[in-house]
Amino acid sequence: MTMNKQKIIAIVNDFLIDEFELDPEQIKYETSLREDLEIESLDLVDIIVLIEKEFGFKVEPTEIVKVTTIGELYDFIAEKTNTSKDA
Return the CATH number at 36. Answer: 1.10.1200.10
CA distances from residue 68 to 1, 2, 85, 86, 87 in whole angstroms, order as listed = 25, 24, 26, 27, 28
Report the pLDDT value the prediction gives residue 75, as an integer from 0 to 100.
Answer: 96
Reference 11, options 86, 79, 73, 64; nearest CA is 73
Instruction: From first to last of the 87 residues of the chain, give the pLDDT tens digit.
Output: 567 999 999 999 999 999 999 999 999 999 999 999 999 989 999 999 999 999 999 999 899 989 999 999 999 999 999 854 444
Would you state the pLDDT for residue 61?
86
Q: What range does the domain containing 11 cover?
A: 5-83
What pLDDT score does 82 carry? 83
Report the number of distinct structural domains present in the chain.
1
d(CA 2, CA 21): 29
Q: Is pTM, for the whole model, over 0.85?
A: yes
Helices (H), the chain: 5-20, 41-55, 61-64, 70-83
CA 36 – CA 40 distance, rounded (Å):
11
